[in-house]
Structure 1
């Protein structure tokens, strides 16, 4: 195919060369001037959640940005909602290097603009482009082969050299999944003291949940819970012990029997 008249190949502006005025809501797409409007819920909250998850997953040597303008051609200059690009400057220009991953947030009714942007970004050299569809809570990835979006399964993960660990697709749409994914990503990148602090924090959360479950089980069974039982449960720092107490609490005739204050736990009795 003859690309000699392709304006991008004959005159390729650097990604830092501006057509759109920075710090405004103006973008340019194939010469058309666009005004990027502020968002409302849930579109706006998804922007925040996406940035939260992506930033935590960025691998060493890369950095992330929000609404960062990228010059894709002579007549296009626009910003992806979230992007990941090499932290080191371009050795030839000293400016920013092209992003490797870009994310867009869109509504199902307005997919034409992110679709056109995806084509422009891929044509410029961006390796991967994703789109999060607000209403249906879908994650799409641009397919070069099909020149269209491909839907990712809800349980899929995004694996890439830009990311310190696989990024769960559902994380941007679910707060609990997002926090867990962010925790795991930060833990991988953290120094030894921070890793220990994060591990201790996770253990503390698990212990608190296990203690609460033991006491709640006794309460549901209408068993009286003496103060010495509550003290024993709250001071326990052994997840396995709390799990044994929970199993006993299901059938014990009293709270004291459940946590076996009279002596060590009889595992044979529990399992029989």
Structure 2
């Protein structure tokens, strides 16, 4: 693929890729002990979240936001790398007064030293009609808690934003970009969030990179079938060539055994014939032919 056609990789808006220590809501580093990410303010299995002490209600969605949620998790789930786990609407305690759930997230599968789940490393929000202020506040708190990367999908604009620590704000990603991250088995194309064909293509490539056993077996079986077909074709071709050579030799042998001279022109006609049906007719004809030329009669006159 020409270099100019390659999707630009997005390894991280700030380019650091490092884990950021928890910050206070004012943005300063703090040594204060934060609640564990699994310590709840919001009752699980409800639609309640808390943001800076305020109770939020996560209303059920309808198209196109609901379908965008599905498309996001479909593509994202296939790209989760070994050692990581994906989640949908998983509550995360970001500070004393905030307990909210990104629409989708990825976190390390290995528990922490206390046997509890680790903070997510990537988080995704889907935003349609609601103001960007709420996803912005959530993103800022997730980043301060230590989440490495936070993204926001704008449904109506069909755009993806990533939170930048450098600017403390959202940065639009190019539409032809691909998100590159250790949490992902391969770069995730932005376009795959919005286009069904691109989604299927991205998922297929990710599953192939993961070497999913069912796909590996299916590909191996297909290659075995192709190899068998190639072998059968070669065997059939070899058998056909063998039959031609045997028929050509039989004609010449029978003529000479009958004491009939085989002129060079007739010999060339026999050796150059690749029609086995014609050779069979010649074999029958030579039993009564008086000359070699009579055998190949109907062919171009031989000298």
Query: When the two structures are superposed, what TM-score results if normalisation uses the length of structure 1?
Result: 0.69
Separation of aligned partners in 1, 2:179 and 2:192: 11
Separation of aligned partners in 1, 2:180 and 2:210: 16
In the TM superposition, residue 195 of structure 1 has moved relative to its aligned partner by: 2.0
Q: Which runs of 4+ in 1 moved over 3 A?
A: 5-9, 198-201
Q: Which of 137, 150, 162 is the equivalent residue of 1:116?
A: 137
- Residues 194-213 of structure 1 aligned to structure 2 (within 5 Å): 194-197=215-218
**1:87 aligns to 2:109 (yes or no):** yes
**1:78 aligns to 2:106 (yes or no):** no
Separation of aligned partners in 1, 2:97 and 2:120: 19
Give 1:248's aligned residue: none
The 3-state SS of whatever aligns with 1:129 is strand
Gap runs ≥5 in structure 1: 202-236, 239-272
**1:170 aligns to 2:195 (yes or no):** no
Give 1:181's aligned residue: 202
**1:40 aligns to 2:62 (yes or no):** yes
Separation of aligned partners in 2, 1:23 and 1:9: 32
- Residues 99-138 of structure 1 aligned to structure 2 (within 5 Å): 99-107=120-128, 109-138=130-159
The 3-state SS of whatever aligns with 2:171 is strand
**1:61 aligns to 2:69 (yes or no):** no
Give 1:97's aligned residue: 118
Task: Pick closer, same or farther for the CA change 1:200–1:135 going to 2, 3 Å.
Answer: farther
The 3-state SS of whatever aligns with 1:22 is coil
Judge conservation of contact 1:187–1:198 (CA < 8 Å) in 2: no
Judge conservation of contact 1:7–1:73 (CA < 8 Å) in 2: no
Separation of aligned partners in 2, 1:7 and 1:37: 34
Stretch moving more, 69-78 or 182-191: 182-191
Separation of aligned partners in 2, 1:20 and 1:77: 6
The number of residues matched between the two structures is 203
Separation of aligned partners in 2, 1:139 and 1:45: 16
Task: Pick closer, same or farther for the CA change 1:108–1:24 going to 2, 3 Å.
Answer: closer
Separation of aligned partners in 1, 2:210 and 2:148: 24
Separation of aligned partners in 2, 1:20 and 1:142: 25
Structure with the greater alpha carbon radius of gyration: 2
Give 1:228's aligned residue: none
The 3-state SS of whatever aligns with 1:139 is strand
In the TM superposition, residue 110 of structure 1 has moved relative to its aligned partner by: 1.6
Judge conservation of contact 1:122–1:129 (CA < 8 Å) in 2: yes
In the TM superposition, residue 191 of structure 1 has moved relative to its aligned partner by: 4.4
